Amino acid sequence: MRADARRNLGKIVEAAAEVVAERGVGAPMEAIAKRAGVGVGTLYRRFPDRDALIAAVGDHYIHTMADALDAADRGSADAWSAIWDFVCWVAEPGRAALSTALAVLPDEVIARRAEFARVRARWEERFDQVVRRAQAEGTMRRDVGVQDLIHLLNVFTCHPEDLPAPVAADPGRYLRLMLDGMKAGAATPAPSR
Amino acid sequence: MRADARRNLGKIVEAAAEVVAERGVGAPMEAIAKRAGVGVGTLYRRFPDRDALIAAVGDHYIHTMADALDAADRGSADAWSAIWDFVCWVAEPGRAALSTALAVLPDEVIARRAEFARVRARWEERFDQVVRRAQAEGTMRRDVGVQDLIHLLNVFTCHPEDLPAPVAADPGRYLRLMLDGMKAGAATPAPSR
DNA sequence: GCATAACCGGAATACGAGATTCCACTTATG
DNA sequence: CATAAGTGGAATCTCGTATTCCGGTTATGC
């Protein structure tokens, strides 16, 4: 592979990650090409079709995600702060939407990527352990689970076009609100009336 | 207007409300027609174009919404339960998605509907009063406002296709979680670390 | 019962958006 | 410098949906 071609490949995956973060997994090839500063033809020389390109972005990102969770876990005194830190990490600008975008990857795409599915499963399992630990430590409500956390993460870090502008501008604000509602003792006990 | 035509008109608006709730304001005319049990031609005989039909749905729904808020307010001892009850009302099955669908009505549509804009403004104002009252009563955090509540309502009652399935299946669960995070005292005071 | 103005369904048409292909034209590299 | 590798982006193909149109129905007044 020629040196300039390798350079372009890098630019393409990088651009794809950015554009997917902004517009979701349905982002048009042309938008990605423009962002990378290349023609659409170049995208198709490296990837057979858009699914392959999106999958490449996913492969890279899921690892980052798993690493961030591990780092938050290692770097925190207790499980609740680990969760808090990880959620804040996901909400950081430019990263937010990507995680969700990938959450809605079509099944066909995932099926052809055993690696992706495996890493994601490991991540979920790890996340679940942290959540259970937080509950055992008495800092987190017992009537919510890791799936609730994941769904809410997905909801708030959806690509900006599908969210009210203020939410897209600061998903962290709403994610923190959600965490506050998940703290032990925050639960509203009975039906309201 | 012939009797059968009037009957169809009713079926159309009703069907449109259902389909918009399920698929958002972008729902195809054909889906609405099928739901109403009529042909697309019939839709176009009553409404010049899809915007007009969607606007008609909005006109009707915004009134229902405003009334529900007033009812929740009148029927509750304190402002916080009024908010809680109203949020639960919005989250009720079949109603949920409609309110959000309308929140993203294109500006062109709204501009041609002074009535809609007026009722919606009155509703927001009323909602804001209740929120401020709850804060004055000491039951709600002071660092969140009515706009946060509205955004969250919009996010969670989005049409099902844009939400993780479990969230779409029970938006109330997640809205209640958010409300728990908005209660006075729920705020996490400082940065986590 | 009939004439007929209103209605109807839904096939046909018009479009816009975006994926994918193709090829004449560049540019690294041995 | 020869040439294989690489490139941009116009052209093509597909799809999903709005909108139009019209031959066939049906309510209604007489």
Cα–Cα distances (Å) from A91 to A83, A98, A106, A168, in that order, read 12, 10, 23, 10
Q: What is the dihedral sign for C-alpha B175, B179, B182, B187?
A: negative
Q: Which amino acid is at A182?
A: M
B16 shares its domain with B33: yes
Give me the CA B143–C1' C4 separation in Å, rounded: 68
A81 shares its domain with A120: yes
Asked whether residue A35's C-beta has any atom of DNA/RNA strand C within 7 A, the reply is no
Centre a 10 Å sphere on the Cβ of residue B177 and count the other Cβ atoms it contains: 25
Q: Which amino acid is at B86?
A: F
Mean pLDDT for chain B?
92
A33 shares its domain with A85: no
Domain, as residue range, for A103: 49-180
Cα–Cα distances (Å) from B49 to A184, B6, B40, B42, B108, in that order, read 52, 18, 11, 11, 13
Q: Which residues of A touch B144 (CB under 8 A)?
A: 177
Q: How many domains does chain B have?
A: 2
Confidence check: pLDDT of B103 > 80: no
pLDDT above 70 coverage of chain B, percent: 97
- With beta carbons less than 8 A apart as the criterion, state whether A132 and A83 touch: no
Q: Which residues of B touch A163 (CB under 8 A)?
A: 155
Confidence check: pLDDT of B3 > 90: yes
The rounded distance, in Å, linking the Cα atoms of B121 and B155 is 19
Q: For residue A112, give how far its alpha carbon lies from the nearest alpha carbon of chain B (Å).
A: 22
Closest nucleotide to residue B6 (Cα to C1')? C7
Is the CB of A186 less than 8 angstroms away from the CB of B188?
A: no
- Confirm whether A187 is domain-assigned: no
Q: How high is the mean pLDDT in each 10-residue block of chain A (193 residues)?
A: 96 96 94 98 97 92 93 97 96 80 79 87 96 98 96 91 91 96 86 49
Q: Which of B148, B177, B183 to mutate to test the interface with A (most CBs of A within 10 A)?
A: B177
Q: What CATH number is given to the structural domain containing A83? A: 1.10.357
- Confirm whether A100 is domain-assigned: yes
Asked whether residue A5's C-beta has any atom of DNA/RNA strand D within 7 A, the reply is yes
Asked whether residue B1's C-beta has any atom of DNA/RNA strand D within 7 A, the reply is no
Q: Which amino acid is at B61?
A: Y
Asked whether residue B42's C-beta has any atom of DNA/RNA strand C within 7 A, the reply is yes
The rounded distance, in Å, linking the Cα atoms of A37 and A28 is 14
Asked whether residue B78's C-beta has any atom of DNA/RNA strand D within 7 A, the reply is no
Q: For residue A40, give how far its alpha carbon lies from the nearest alpha carbon of chain B (Å).
A: 28
Asked whether residue A76's C-beta has any atom of DNA/RNA strand C within 7 A, the reply is no
Q: What is the pLDDT of residues B110-167, one digit of tens each?
A: 877 888 889 999 999 999 999 999 999 999 999 999 999 999 999 998 888 888 999 9
A38 shares its domain with A56: no
Q: Chain A: which residues have CB within 8 Å of chain B?
A: 76, 81, 84-85, 88, 103, 144, 147-148, 151-152, 154-156, 158, 162-164, 166-167, 173-174, 176-183, 186-188, 192-193
- With beta carbons less than 8 A apart as the criterion, state whether B98 and B61 touch: yes
pLDDT for position A100? 75
Contacts 24+ apart (CB under 8 A), A89-96: A90/A65, A90/A153, A90/A157, A90/A175, A91/A156, A91/A157, A91/A171, A91/A172, A91/A175, A92/A172, A94/A18, A94/A21, A95/A21, A96/A21, A96/A156, A96/A157, A96/A171
Cα–Cα distances (Å) from A80 to A83, A107, A182, B181, in that order, read 5, 32, 10, 15
- Confirm whether B76 is domain-assigned: yes
Domain edge (last residue) among A18, A33, A48? A48
Give the number of beta-carbon pairs within 8 Å between A and B: 92
- Confirm whether B3 is domain-assigned: yes
Centre a 10 Å sphere on the Cβ of residue B55 and count the other Cβ atoms it contains: 21
pLDDT for position B191? 55
A6 shares its domain with A59: no
Q: Which residues of A touch B176 (CB under 8 A)?
A: 188
pLDDT for position A191? 55
Q: What CATH number is given to the structural domain containing B20? A: 1.10.10.60
The rounded distance, in Å, linking the Cα atoms of B134 and B182 is 11
- Confirm whether B131 is domain-assigned: yes
B33 shares its domain with B127: no
Give me the CA B23–C1' C8 separation in Å, rounded: 26
CA angle, corner B188, sides to B170 and B153, nearest 5? 30
pLDDT for position B193? 46
B63 shares its domain with B133: yes
- Confirm whether A114 is domain-assigned: yes
Asked whether residue B30's C-beta has any atom of DNA/RNA strand D within 7 A, the reply is yes
- Confirm whether B97 is domain-assigned: yes
Give me the CA B10–C1' D27 separation in Å, rounded: 18
The rounded distance, in Å, linking the Cα atoms of B106 and B179 is 29
Tracing tokens 């909801």 back to the chain, one arrives at A155
Residue B60 banded pLDDT, cuts 50, 70, 90: confident
B53 shares its domain with B38: no
Q: From the C1' of D8, which residue's alpha carbon is nearest?
A: A39
Confidence check: pLDDT of B192 > 60: no
Centre a 10 Å sphere on the Cβ of residue B20 and count the other Cβ atoms it contains: 25
B30 shares its domain with B5: yes
Of A89, A23, A87, whose CA–CA distance to A57 is shortest? A23
Q: What is the pLDDT of residues A113-124, one digit of tens each?
A: 888 889 999 999
The DSSP-derived string for B63-115 is HHHHHHHHHHHHT-SSHHHHHHHHHHHHHSTTTHHHHHHHHT--HHHHHT-HH
Is the CB of B147 less than 8 angstroms away from the CB of A166?
A: yes
- Confirm whether A190 is domain-assigned: no
Q: Which amino acid is at A108?
A: E
- What phi and psi values does residue A140 have, to the nearest 5 degrees? -130, 140
B78 shares its domain with B22: no
Helix, strand, coil shares of chain A, percent, nearest 5, are 75, 0, 25
A169 shares its domain with A74: yes
The rounded distance, in Å, linking the Cα atoms of B26 and A162 is 13
The rounded distance, in Å, linking the Cα atoms of A135 and B174 is 19
pLDDT for position A9? 98
B42 shares its domain with B54: no
Instruction: Write the residue in B174, B186, B192 that is nearest to A186 by C-beta.
Output: B186
The rounded distance, in Å, linking the Cα atoms of B84 and B128 is 14
- pTM, full prediction: 0.92
Closest nucleotide to residue A39 (Cα to C1')? D8
Asked whether residue B29's C-beta has any atom of DNA/RNA strand D within 7 A, the reply is yes
